């Protein structure tokens, strides 16, 4: 039954289709899982303890201890966007090469992405109330991230909206690719429009504007939470592959005994 997972032809996607075999993927994922899970737990614990402790990391001179929310808010914001890039990439691979693992990966990315986007919005509101004096404003950055959250929710719903799973995967893939237009809007919203949201403190073109005593715990937290995203996705994808494989075996057995 493993052969049913590999789409024939499609020479440009031959490398990708090596992992369409569920047995091969499960073996690889089982080896990778511990190297994601344990570092994620350790680094997240270190980063958050480091960043949230007044004895280890200083408070901001202007915002005080309120800024400590960033040790959760910033990694969740990065993953909200990064997760959607991954969702769009899986959707593209699904539509172009009909890769079944890409369909499953996209279906598993969207719930995790929706969760981290919700955390991003919630922690942003917790930061905004003492800083701006309000829980929410229809700011360009906030509004575009809210749209991202609804795109994740829409993807989850569309995947499950059809009796034929393949139709659901195709429709959801198209939605994900169309929704990717929101990503540059999120990225450049603080540049294109007047916005209450501050500009990025860390860029590729300049030195960080953040104290190194804040930057290091933020980096550790971001790395740990990112690995946690990967660990959770890998675990969910392993479960989804095993579920589909089991279903295929049961259907084949039922056909033989019919």
pLDDT in tens, 231-248: 999 999 999 988 887 777
Please provide the distance, in angstroms rounded to a whole number, between the alpha carbons at the two ends of the chain.
18
Asked whether 245 and 22 are in contact (CB, 8 A), the reply is yes
Which residues, in sequence order, are bridge partners of residue 60? 64
Worst-scoring range by mean pLDDT, 136-140, 180-184, 203-207? 203-207
Place of tokens 């990065």: 78
Which residues, in sequence order, are bridge partners of residue 127? none
- Phi then psi dihedrals of residue 58, to 5 deg: -75, 155
Alpha-carbon gap, residue 92 to 85, rounded angstroms: 11
**Mean pLDDT value across the chain:** 85
Contact residues for 205 (Cβ-Cβ < 8 A; gap 6+): none
Asked whether residue 208 carries a pLDDT value surpassing 50, the answer given is yes
The residue among 80, 104, 76 whose CA lies nearest residue 90 is 104
Contact residues for 53 (Cβ-Cβ < 8 A; gap 6+): none
The residue among 252, 248, 245, 251 whose CA lies nearest residue 23 is 245
pLDDT at 23: 76
Alpha-carbon gap, residue 152 to 110, rounded angstroms: 5
Q: Give mean pLDDT, residues 95-117.
A: 93
**Domain edges within the chain:** 67-197
pLDDT at 20: 61
**Is the whole-model pTM more than 0.75?**
yes
Alpha-carbon gap, residue 157 to 174, rounded angstroms: 13
């Amino acid at each position: 039954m493993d052969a049913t997972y590999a789409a024939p032809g499609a020479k440009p996607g031959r490398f990708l289709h090596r992992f369409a075999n569920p047995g091969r993927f499960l073996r690889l994922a089982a080896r990778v899982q511990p190297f994601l899970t344990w570092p994620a737990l350790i680094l997240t614990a270190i980063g958050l303890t480091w960043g949230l402790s007044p004895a280890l990391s200083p408070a901001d001179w202007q915002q005080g201890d309120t800024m400590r929310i960033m040790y959760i808010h910033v990694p969740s914001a990065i993953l909200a966007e990064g997760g959607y890039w991954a969702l769009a990439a899986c959707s593209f691979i699904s539509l172009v090469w009909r890769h079944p693992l890409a369909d499953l990966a996209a279906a598993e990315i969207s719930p995790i992405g929706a969760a981290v986007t919700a955390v991003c919005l919630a922690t942003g509101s917790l930061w905004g109330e003492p800083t701006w004096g309000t829980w929410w404003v229809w700011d360009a950055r906030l509004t575009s991230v809210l749209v991202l959250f609804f795109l994740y929710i829409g993807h989850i719903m569309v995947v499950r909206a059809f009796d034929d799973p393949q139709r659901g995967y195709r429709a959801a893939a198209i939605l994900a690719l169309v929704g990717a237009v929101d990503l540059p809007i999120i990225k450049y919203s603080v540049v294109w429009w007047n916005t209450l949201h501050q500009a990025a403190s860390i860029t590729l073109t300049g030195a960080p504007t953040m104290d190194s005593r804040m930057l290091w715990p933020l980096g550790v937290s971001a790395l740990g939470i990112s690995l946690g995203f990967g660990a959770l996705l890998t675990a969910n994808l392993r479960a989804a592959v095993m579920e589909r494989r089991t279903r295929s075996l049961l259907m084949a057995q039922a056909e033989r005994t019919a």
